[in-house]
Amino acid sequence: MSVTEQPAPAPGREPGGDAAADRLRDRISADSLTTRRDYLRIVATVSGGLAIGGVGVAAGILHRHGDSETLPEAKKVADVMAPGESVAFRFPGDEDRALAVRLTDGSLVGYSAVCTHLACAVLWREDRGPDGELYCPCHEGVFDARTGEVTAGPPPRPLPRIFLTEQADGSVWAIATARSGEQAKDALCRQFGDSRRGAAQRLGGPPGGPATESRRTLETYSPQPAPP
Ligand code: FES
């Protein structure tokens, strides 16, 4: 065969088929390389955004429950709650995930359902001990169902509390929030102080104790006679 002669195509192939196939292979591998790069870029961007958001929540920089200084509008959680029952709801805002639980001894507890680690959703697990537990499946974070304190895993702080009240007809309402680790009395005085001075004073709201901005605000109120 002379040097100018082309090899005969393999049976079933067109003349020049190998070159065309090679070009096609090159294009496919270049495309897939681009696609892989794009994919990795997207994953890195999304994960970075989530990590930054989670760290922001964990550090208390971004919005979370209990940030409001004013009393939120009361919200009905359930018509009735039986022992061992939990209800997921939103409070104080429509974006704020929350959880109400009726413990087996009848106590009602409410918490933000946003994990204090990286803001995953916290779930209620009834079958863990006498009170059950609040569990974050992202990194095995566990919170005490009665107090909201961290009992296992990486969450750095307790779950922010949501105050619930039960009416005579059995309905359960969310009425106020606390910041993570904030004493109930301080949280209620802080929020009631803006709109229900009598209630805040009956709760033993400030003056007294460590000064905070909200306490100073309360101290400037003119005392109101408590309703009979
Ligand atoms: Fe809840 Fe990490 S986000 S344990």
What integer is the mean pLDDT of 3-14? 49
Cβ atoms of 45 and 52 within 8 Å: the answer is no
Q: Report the pLDDT value the prediction gives residue 44, as an integer from 0 to 100.
A: 46
Confidence of residue 119 (pLDDT cuts 50, 70, 90): very high
Lowest mean pLDDT among 15-19, 31-35, 102-106, 133-137: 31-35
- Cα 138 to averaged position of ligand 1 atoms, centre (Å): 5
- Cα 164 to Cα 76: distance, rounded to the nearest angstrom: 9
Q: Report the pLDDT value the prediction gives residue 13, as an integer from 0 to 100.
A: 52
Mutate to test the pocket of ligand 1, among 118, 125, 143, 180 (most ligand atoms within 8 A of CB): 118
In the DSSP assignment, the letter for residue 148 is: -
* Residues in CB range of 93: below 8 A, 6 or more apart: 72
Find the helix or strand (DSSP H, E) in which 199 lies: helix 197-202
What integer is the mean pLDDT of 186-202? 67
SS (H, E, C) 15-80: CCHHHHHHHHHHHHHHHHHHHHHHHHHHHHHHHHHHHHHHHHHHCCCCCCCCCCCCCCCCEEEECC
118 lines ligand 1 (CB under 6 A): yes
53 lines ligand 1 (CB under 6 A): no
Q: Residue 111 CB: number of other CB atoms within 10 A?
A: 27
Question: Has residue 188 got a pLDDT over 90?
Answer: no
Mutate to test the pocket of ligand 1, among 117, 157, 180 (most ligand atoms within 8 A of CB): 117
Could you tell me which of 105, 126, 180, 188 has the C-alpha nearest to residue 148?
180
Question: Has residue 220 got a pLDDT over 70?
Answer: no
Question: Has residue 197 got a pLDDT over 90?
Answer: no
139 lines ligand 1 (CB under 6 A): yes
Index of the ligand 1 atom closest to the CA of residue 54: 3
Q: Report the pLDDT value the prediction gives residue 50, as an integer from 0 to 100.
A: 45
The SS3 of residue 100 is strand
What integer is the mean pLDDT of 88-114? 94
Lowest mean pLDDT among 7-16, 119-128, 133-142: 7-16
Question: Has residue 205 got a pLDDT over 70?
Answer: no
Percent of the chain scored above 70 by pLDDT? 56
| Summary mean pLDDT of the chain | 72
What integer is the mean pLDDT of 23-45? 53
- Cα 118 to averaged position of ligand 1 atoms, centre (Å): 5
